[in-house]
Chain A
């Protein structure tokens, strides 16, 4: 698999999760293990640009895919706009959920840009959906923050959605 742009050849047992490969085999500990059962979102990474829970993914099923973790979202030493926005808006306190929040938000913004609806989208047939606060909260509901930094998280995503779409595209 390719992880943050670098090809990695690994031999692991079929029962090893993608999360454990990233953390234990590749030393990429930015991706966190929260619940290890798909309930908290701390392990969110991008696979070919789509967000998934790496704790419920068997690594062997992702051979040959392009994985992006929090360590891979900055470009050329420049923090990702979402990373900067999270700092600016107090989008975290303890920081444990933050890497999952940011990877999830990158995937979510790409889904929104592709016209995907959500559970709070009233007009499903419409091609474009305005990314309101309610839309962001619904689309990010798979990422829990026990510190309750949700207001800062939503503001950070709104900031980036409003102004940095081109930078987001480059980060995929």
Chain B
């Protein structure tokens, strides 16, 4: 690992001032992704600004019924929090489906949102990767593509977004708050991550000098009937092949409210807008679930090793919605 200068920031103002004056600086929270990437020589900051001591550690109920989550809240603490378990179970389940107990104790909410892809060609400095080195090409094409995206990819990059937590946040209409010396911005989670297009190295809407300070969840009564379902190559401690975050409310025999997002298949956390549009007002039957899932996956582009993800995603959507229906979505 390349040597770097270390700055410990006691508060947000100090942190954003420190990063504003250092062009090749990075924030470090839990370090579970950044330390690994630095050891692999993929991230090479000159300065690391430690934000792990900043007191952005609250999980607070907002006046309108939403919840504000500090960016330094550890993943494990958020998943265990009573407000999240009771009102947004899909978020608790998504976090618990990711990584391991040890990593969840280290990883922060802000860091989880900014974690980078686990595409093996991104990690392998001997391979071509437009994300790591713009214009160098992409060795995933023609390579081993079992874990790659089928939605939202481009000719430059088909890396899948790795986060479970972000899939739930996408379904829940979460808003990310960022701060810099220039002020505070609020970005909807579904607009926070960018599709690769011709610039896969630009992964998010956040500027290099902006710090994630909080995530806000709106009041969302339907989220009490929500669920995260993850399909992977082993039973635990593996990234998703396919995952589904869903919330469902049925009234008078039709779908009154639905939230649906996909993981493992998308170049970013994938909010399933098309499926939601078709489901809204439809009868909650397996047939309509299947039609909505197929419509969402219709634009999918498969590679030789990941074509199975399209049908797997459709089936997982149908199964998750059926589970929610049985669990009280019809209440």
Contact = CB atoms under 8 A, between A and B. Distances in A.
Interface string B9-53: 000000000000000000010011001101100000000101010
A148 B259 CA distance: 41
B80 A116 contact: yes
Contacts of A58: 6, 28, 31, 35, 48
Interface stretch (A35-43, A85-93, A157-165): A35-43
B236 interface: yes
Contact of A118 (B2, B96, B103): B96
A93 B149 CA distance: 40
B5 interface: yes
Interface of A is mostly: loop
Interface residues of A, number: 38
Interface in B271-307: none
Nearest to B85: A124
B105 interface: yes
B236 A138 contact: yes
B36 A56 contact: yes
B102 A104 contact: yes
A14 B5 contact: yes
Interface size class of B (residues with CB under 8 A): 35 or more
B326 interface: no
Contacts of B162: none
Interface stretch (B86-94, B136-144, B170-178): B86-94
A142 B36 contact: no
A78 interface: no
Interface string A58-80: 10110000000000000000000
Contacts of B207: none
Contacts of A124: 85-86, 89, 92-93
Contact of B4 (A14, A38, A41): A14
B236 A137 contact: yes
Contacts of B80: 111, 114-117
Interface in A1-33: 13-15, 17
B101 interface: yes
Contact of A17 (B4, B28, B35, B85): B35
Contacts of A13: 3
Contact of B86 (A107, A125, A143): A125
Contacts of A114: 80
B100 A125 contact: no
Nearest to B52: A61
Contacts of A155: none
A117 B5 contact: no
23 contacts: A14-B5, A15-B2, A15-B3, A38-B103, A50-B105, A51-B105, A52-B102, A53-B32, A111-B80, A116-B79, A117-B79, A117-B80, A117-B85, A117-B92, A118-B96, A119-B236, A137-B235, A137-B236, A141-B100, A141-B101, A142-B99, A142-B102, A142-B103
Interface of B: 1-6, 8, 28, 31-32, 35-36, 38-39, 48, 50, 52, 76, 79-80, 85-86, 89, 92-93, 96-97, 99-103, 105-106, 235-237
Q: Shortest 6 CB-CB distances between A and B: which pairs?
A: A142-B100, A141-B236, A14-B6, A141-B237, A119-B96, A116-B80
